[in-house]
Structure 1
Amino acid sequence: MKIGMFTDTYSPQINGVVTSVISFENELMRQGHEVHIFAPRFPGYKDDGNHIHRFPSVDIFFIEGYRLAIPTLWDIMATIRKLKLDIVHSHDPFPLGLVALRVSRAESIPLVHTYHTLYEEYLHYLPRIIRISKKRVERISRIYCDRCDLVLSPSERIRELLIEYGVSSRIEVLPTGVDLHEFQSLLPGGEEEALQKKNEDTRLIYVGRVAKEKNIEFLFDVMDKVRSRVPGVVLRVVGGGPELPHLKRVCQERGLADIVSFSGFVDRKGVVKELRQSDIFVFSSLTETQGLAILEAMATGLPVVAVDAMGASQLIEHGREGFLTGLDVDQFVDHVLKLIRNPSLRQEMGRLARDKAMANSLTHVTGRLLDLYGECIDAAGDRRKNVPRRMVRARSLAETGKGFSKIIWS
């Protein structure tokens, strides 16, 4: 199968969407399929392989590390016709999501879209002069999704939310699975041994983007109370992002620098290493559509304490693989202390967490994705038998986005 993935976030960026795209890309290629990635160009960054198609881009000055693609549709369409894609898969609604929509319509190729992000929770990044309302974001999401043959939701909660938005296209729940190749040493028969902890401290760990919406200061409140009740507990914050300098200052001001440390950006191998050297995974974000970082921590054998929100509630059964709490510091602290004081409980929950993660392997989930691709292709073929193919001339990106511009600014 020939698959074209259009994404506005890709390497060298590090975030959940990039992890999902690359995971599926690698697994699909491992299974013998042809995958082409369409993404913004990053100055000085070179890709491995000629299946990645980069477009000129400009820096988005108000969001650190992000770039806005400026594609030329004439060149894109020439490339697409040479590739003879079977399916188009977009990972955000625009600008490259709009290109995916244009390609789909111009070439009569089915369009699949993954709704990765709760965009209304990220509006604070936009300058006030161009900031739009949450209701308008819902409307944009609905209109884009309704132009797709299939919408993939990372969790059941997101599927329900899209239905509330009024999306009428078919919606299927398909999370990103765990790449077992990265965790091979933790599986029965693995050749490597898990890395040993470097000290005797109980190590809590957060992995993810260091940003305002991740609610990391909540974990500082937790650590402030934990240290007054149990000595030798530390928190490791793994990841980078716009809030990193601010959070480091907060740690200094609150006297937490001796028990809270930051890694900054690390690569995939570095993340696995950090997880293996930890005891408990803690997570307080309220905006996760899936919680892929939680699933990867579970694959490492870590029990989880998380605020009961969309992504976490889909993965953790309270009292089994970990604990779910309200947005309440004392409640969160109580569950962390329960795991710290009971190593056997920590070990048993970690084992159950690993079992659940391994049941959600990337290989299995990718098989389901291929089945869904096939259903979309078959349905499109049936439509073409009954309706004459209508050629759509691709003139410009502005033509594709004209309707969306009216929605955004009207």
Structure 2
Amino acid sequence: MLRLQTPRPAHAPRTGKAHEDEFVATGTGKFKTGDPMTPGNSELPIGSLRIGLFTDTYAPQVNGVSVSLQMISEGLQKRGHQVTIFAPKFPGYKDNEPNVMRLPSLKYLNNPPIYVAVLGTPRSTWKLTHKHFDVLHAHSPASVGLLAYLTASTKRLPLIYTYHVSITDYTHYIKFIGNTGIIKYAAAWFSKASTNLGDQIIVPSPKFQRLLLNQKVKQPITIIPNGIDLGMFKAAKNPGALRNRLGLGPEAHILLTVGRMDPEKRLEFIVEAFDLMAERVPNAHLVFAGDGGARKGVEEKAGATRAKDRIHFLGMVNRADLPDILRDADVFLSASTTEVHPISVIEAIASGLPFVAVQDEAFEGMLEDGLNGYALPLDAQKYADTLADLLPDRERLKKFGEHSLALSEKYSIEAQVAALEKLYMEAILQNWRGKLFKRILPKQLNEIPRRIGRGINEIPQKIGKEINKILPGRKG
């Protein structure tokens, strides 16, 4: 069968068993001999690709990037591709997937726990450089993302880079003593520089396409929206699970937010708005599903409100239970303006929930003001008034929910994976053309433009010399 690249050496490992501590595949499963997904099998089906995904955040961390990567990996493998994920080692955690390769790491933050990869260790470098890929895809600009760039440069492979977050919105996580303005300036410079390292750039939303164009990023930019398993959220397996857990009846109105509880999510704003509307809708309840560094502060603010008994914190939620939680809610809330194309919102509208948010370009395509929810200014009183007016209106809630379902249809994981596959093939072909051009054309051809220019400049002098030959007495 055709292969897109030189076959793997015969001595390369053929199973997914654990390797050295410095660079380990922690999954326990094994590939079957002859299976086209086997790393050691050089005969993959025509069109099958060896893809390297590089990320600084992956399981057990729970966030949009890690969840998205798991779905992308599964989706690509279902389409017959071989996928290897490179991520920092997370002490005490063992991957279920055999295709996850963990890099040695150091702890960077405690809450939330964040680990960064240590690059350049001899064994990990050897292992990586001896793997064969057709295309590399970086999902972060930091340690593991830089490894993707170095590998692509060394092996002359195409590099795709997905711009998931605006680094300047997260400088408060940087351990740096100094001027905040300097940090933001440095973050903006690094963001542009690291993005330009990719041959092709992916953004999940038009918001980030505009951001990168404003930053003068030179590389081609493609919008590929995030996708989810839509079928997972079409129906609840255990209807009423959330209401039973909280002791609430069908008459209660549940306002829900799902995701990391971090400062940039502005969850205290949501508590403030709920407190302002609570008396007008006495059967309304506010539910937070998730955990994070800001949880303590949000709980303290909630405890100081008049409606503290109607504000609930679920903590971390198993992803398998998420459809049941969403299906029991009445409205999904957000106050963040740092989102890109949030998976949590796609899951909410796929569950048929109306969506109320603070105005942000990230929700373009997911929130149509007045049709499936409202996009509001960052004003707690306005937010509260809107919710107080919406919740008693069952007919409007139903119409908004139906429109949310319709909007969610374009955000399937199948559509996202198909778009990625197409871009991978384009990048590979472009990379091949570049290599072929360099191999076929002699280096001397690079001199042609300069020589042509020099020849044109010499034409007047040559004409003058010929005239002097014809007219000897003429002075030049």
Q: TM > 0.5 between the two?
A: yes
Corresponding residue for residue 287 of structure 1 = 338
Q: Give, in whole Å, the separation in 1 of the partners of 2:235 and 2:115.
A: 36
How far is 1:330 from its partner?
2.3
Amino acid at match of 1:15: N
How far is 1:288 from its partner?
0.3
Corresponding residue for residue 207 of structure 1 = 258
How far is 1:247 from its partner?
1.4
Corresponding residue for residue 26 of structure 1 = 74
1:318 aligns with 2:366: no
Q: Aligned match of 1:386 in 437, 460, 463?
A: 437
- The 8 Å contact of residues 298 and 357 in structure 1, kept in 2 or not, is answered as yes
Q: Aligned match of 2:115 in 56, 64, 67?
A: 67
Q: Give, in whole Å, the separation in 2 of the partners of 1:337 and 1:253.
A: 21
Q: Aligned match of 1:233 in 279, 284, 287?
A: 284
1:167 aligns with 2:203: no
Amino acid at match of 1:319: G
How far is 1:195 from its partner?
4.5
Amino acid at match of 1:185: A
- The 8 Å contact of residues 177 and 365 in structure 1, kept in 2 or not, is answered as yes
1:151 aligns with 2:201: yes
Q: Aligned match of 2:84 in 22, 36, 39?
A: 36
Amino acid at match of 2:77: M
Post-superposition Cα deviations, 1:155-197, rounded to whole Å, max 9, x if no partner, equal 10111001111101011111211212422537xxxxx575564
Corresponding residue for residue 171 of structure 2 = 123
Amino acid at match of 2:103: F
How far is 1:80 from its partner?
3.6
Q: Give, in whole Å, the separation in 2 of the partners of 1:44 and 1:80.
A: 23
Which SS does the other structure have where 2:113 is aligned? coil
How far is 1:253 from its partner?
2.3
Post-superposition Cα deviations, 1:214-269, rounded to whole Å, max 9, x if no partner, equal 00011011111111211110010111100112211221123443111111112211
Corresponding residue for residue 229 of structure 2 = 179
Moved more, 242-251 or 376-385: 242-251
- The 8 Å contact of residues 151 and 171 in structure 1, kept in 2 or not, is answered as yes
Question: What's the TM-score once normalised by structure 2's chain length?
Answer: 0.77
Amino acid at match of 1:263: L
How far is 1:73 from its partner?
5.4
Q: Give, in whole Å, the separation in 1 of the partners of 2:303 and 2:240.
A: 30
- The 8 Å contact of residues 155 and 314 in structure 1, kept in 2 or not, is answered as no
- The 8 Å contact of residues 178 and 357 in structure 1, kept in 2 or not, is answered as no
- The 8 Å contact of residues 103 and 117 in structure 2, kept in 1 or not, is answered as yes
Using the aligned pairs only, state the percent identity.
29
Q: Give, in whole Å, the separation in 2 of the partners of 1:321 and 1:24.
A: 28
User: Where in structure 2 are the equivalents of 1:364-379 lying within 5 Å?
Assistant: 364-379=415-430
Q: Looking at CA atoms only, which structure, 1 or 2, has the larger radius of gyration?
A: 2
How far is 1:126 from its partner?
2.0
Q: Aligned match of 1:352 in 398, 403, 423?
A: 403
How far is 1:335 from its partner?
2.4
Q: CA distance change for structure 1 residues 149 and 23 in 2, over 3 Å: closer, same or farther? A: same
Q: CA distance change for structure 1 residues 261 and 151 in 2, over 3 Å: closer, same or farther? A: same
Amino acid at match of 1:163: L
Which SS does the other structure have where 1:281 is aligned? strand
- The 8 Å contact of residues 56 and 144 in structure 2, kept in 1 or not, is answered as yes
**Structure 2, gaps ≥5 residues long:** 1-48, 441-476
- The 8 Å contact of residues 178 and 358 in structure 1, kept in 2 or not, is answered as no
Corresponding residue for residue 26 of structure 2 = none
1:107 aligns with 2:169: no
Which SS does the other structure have where 1:140 is aligned? helix
- The 8 Å contact of residues 355 and 373 in structure 2, kept in 1 or not, is answered as yes
- The 8 Å contact of residues 289 and 311 in structure 1, kept in 2 or not, is answered as yes
Corresponding residue for residue 46 of structure 1 = 94
Amino acid at match of 2:364: S
- The 8 Å contact of residues 77 and 103 in structure 1, kept in 2 or not, is answered as no
Corresponding residue for residue 408 of structure 1 = none
Q: CA distance change for structure 1 residues 4 and 73 in 2, over 3 Å: closer, same or farther? A: farther
1:89 aligns with 2:137: yes
Residue-pair matches, total:
384
Q: Give, in whole Å, the separation in 2 of the partners of 1:374 and 1:326.
A: 42
1:139 aligns with 2:189: yes
How far is 1:87 from its partner?
0.9
4+ residue runs over 4 A deviation: 192-197
Q: CA distance change for structure 1 residues 377 and 195 in 2, over 3 Å: closer, same or farther? A: farther
CA RMSD of aligned residues (A): 1.9
Question: What's the TM-score once normalised by structure 1's chain length?
Answer: 0.89
Q: Give, in whole Å, the separation in 2 of the partners of 1:144 and 1:80.
A: 21
Corresponding residue for residue 305 of structure 1 = 356
Amino acid at match of 2:436: K
How far is 1:282 from its partner?
0.6
Q: Give, in whole Å, the separation in 1 of the partners of 2:124 and 2:432.
A: 23
Q: CA distance change for structure 1 residues 202 and 184 in 2, over 3 Å: closer, same or farther? A: closer
- The 8 Å contact of residues 139 and 165 in structure 1, kept in 2 or not, is answered as no
1:3 aligns with 2:51: yes
Q: Give, in whole Å, the separation in 2 of the partners of 1:320 and 1:75.
A: 56
Post-superposition Cα deviations, 1:121-169, rounded to whole Å, max 9, x if no partner, equal 1111223427652222121111111121111111101110011111010
Corresponding residue for residue 13 of structure 1 = 61
- The 8 Å contact of residues 185 and 193 in structure 1, kept in 2 or not, is answered as no
Which SS does the other structure have where 1:35 is aligned? strand
Amino acid at match of 1:136: A
Post-superposition Cα deviations, 1:34-78, rounded to whole Å, max 9, x if no partner, equal 111100111111111321000121211365211111133543443
Which SS does the other structure have where 1:42 is aligned? coil
Q: Give, in whole Å, the separation in 2 of the partners of 1:336 and 1:85.
A: 51
Moved more, 220-229 or 299-308: 220-229
- The 8 Å contact of residues 290 and 314 in structure 1, kept in 2 or not, is answered as no
Moved more, 314-323 or 369-378: 314-323
- The 8 Å contact of residues 40 and 56 in structure 1, kept in 2 or not, is answered as yes
- The 8 Å contact of residues 57 and 88 in structure 2, kept in 1 or not, is answered as yes
Corresponding residue for residue 406 of structure 1 = none
- The 8 Å contact of residues 203 and 233 in structure 1, kept in 2 or not, is answered as yes
